[in-house]
Amino acid sequence: MSESHTASSGSSRLNTGVAHNARVWNYWIGGKDNYEVDQQVAEQVAEMFPVIREIARADRWFLGRAVRFLAEEHGVRQFLDIGTGLPTADNTHEIAQRVAPDARIVYVDNDPIVLVHARTLLTGSTEGATDYIDADVRDPDAILEQAGRTLDFGQPVAVMMLGILNFVLDTGEAREVARRIMDVMPSGSFLVLTHPTFDAEVGGEGQIPAMKFWNENATPPITARSGADIASFLDGLRILEPGLVSCSQWRADDASPAVVPQYGAVAVKP
């Protein structure tokens, strides 16, 4: 996809009259790529569920730790980042190519505002490759077909699905999306996952009314799930230590980080 096509496609689909997840998330982590409608919904959700800002930051920090872990300790040189969101500091390609300049990264998203910013995502090291494809998580075959132009599916790939399967409202469909993508990946590939939960043991009860408000006032609709349902997305894979945990606690530098109701895990394909 050319950069000019990317930008024009995003502009034609951009709706600034309704709060959108990519822009609201950008607001919560301190970004500037959002509109008044996004800020209003973001503030209302944060008033109902104050921990949401901590969730947004914890999810972003998890991304950094997971990419560095895979690049440094497992030698991963290919990343397929599905549902990448708006570019901020330390995007997947920047972290990976800092460790290994020859790393190859493909971003996948279909958010209109992200399309507008795709040029930012398409800047990477000269030794590696950074590409962007416009595709929906519900169409794994299209993702795999286009990603295969940049990535070598004969070599291990880290599939990043951070905060994206929660937009696939049917759990069976979400499970099938993860299975279909990982089926194509070779042994030694990884699935990196975060997902919001309503589990009480990690303080997730407040997700339910906040998500109800979100679904009535913003797009796209979202759902939280139990830890057991989220774990099912990793069926057939070996979950690495420390397991499926609050993403703030996954291999955290801080000895006692605050628990957030967003699970995170890294699993490897045997």
Q: What is the pLDDT of residues 57-101, one digit of tens each?
A: 999 999 999 999 999 999 999 999 999 877 676 889 999 999 999
> What's residue 221's pLDDT?
95
Smallest CA-to-CA distance from 62 within 245, 269, 231, 214 is with 245
Instruction: Reply yes or no on whether the pLDDT at 6 is more than 60.
Output: no
Instruction: Reply yes or no on whether the pLDDT at 255 is more than 70.
Output: no
Cβ burial of 67 (10 Å; 0-12, 13-18, 19+) is buried
pLDDT category, 36, cuts 50, 70, 90?
Answer: very high
> What's residue 30's pLDDT?
84
Quickly list H helices, 29-111.
36-48, 52-73, 92-99
> What's residue 13's pLDDT?
52
Distance (Å, whole) CA 10 – CA 246 = 34
Instruction: Reply yes or no on whether the pLDDT at 163 is more than 50.
Output: yes
Place of tokens 């999810």: 59
> Residue 85 — φ and ψ, nearest 5°?
75, -175
